[in-house]
Structure 1
């Protein structure tokens, strides 16, 4: 049925539920699981206005990328707990919906399992959620959890 399942994960409760559901489906289908965490690239202006956590050095993108790696690994661990031993975790920078769609195309994904509500800002309420955008742009089926 499905051979490669992409599960975008942002660390939210809805995202964790998507990982659990996607992993369960992968076990049933014998599908490969790819966990993707997308972080937002900051412009120079945003970077100059952003505060960093104490004790962290580097630019804002480096800090965001490091945090995204931790989130992606947490998603991979959730998939492992749900019975998927070979899940792989990836991190990409950019606009979330576009990055998810591009990643799915590049990796030949045949199903995307995504949480209905993530950690997005008020912007998502005005412009539409990431899950809504992904369902409209994807070339493959999308399961919104």
Structure 2
């Protein structure tokens, strides 16, 4: 069913749910896994916040720690993920990596938004649905350890 699954991971609660659900699908299907974190870089925000090279390096270190955590979790589940960090717009970066790697499925966590937030800005999930050439899973299911660490 799936040969390659792209797991988008940011270390949040929603990201952890996506990681677990995507990992379980990879276990069931025998798919390869690409673990991706996207560091959103917006020139306007960087200038407004006075971000310098040191701050960007600190942000990179934070994402490396997040990816290390994700890699450890996936390894404990018997998977051997390829790990990637991309910079820029999340939709563009995820779409690029999915296309480049030939992913059959992209798994992202669902960050709930209030009415006004959703009205004011388009969701990443909606934009991904329009830009991806493969399936998209908005993970919300709680996958228990008993499912993840049993023989597949």
Gaps of 5+ in 2: 140-152
**Residue aligning to 1:17:** 17
Q: 1:137 to 1:48 in 2, by over 3 A?
A: closer
Task: Give the match's secondary structure for 1:59.
Answer: helix
Mapping of residues 68-79 of structure 1, within 5 Å = 68-79=63-74
Q: 1:131 to 1:84 in 2, by over 3 A?
A: farther
Q: What number of residue pairs does the alignment pair up?
A: 136
TM-score by length of 1: 0.81
Question: Is 1:133 the counterpart of 2:130 in the alignment?
Answer: no
Question: Is 1:4 the counterpart of 2:4 in the alignment?
Answer: yes
Cα offset for 1:61? Answer: 2.2
Cα offset for 1:106? Answer: 0.7
Q: Is the 8 A contact 1:8 1:37 kept in 2?
A: yes
Question: Is 1:64 the counterpart of 2:59 in the alignment?
Answer: yes
- Indicate the RMSD between aligned Cα atoms, in angstroms: 2.4
Q: Which of structure 1's runs of 4+ aligned residues deviate more than 6 A? A: 122-125
Gaps of 5+ in 1: 53-57
Task: Give the match's secondary structure for 1:135.
Answer: helix
TM-score by length of 2: 0.78
Mapping of residues 1-145 of structure 1, within 5 Å = 1-43=1-43, 46-47=46-47, 49-50=49-50, 58-81=53-76, 83-117=77-111, 126-145=120-139
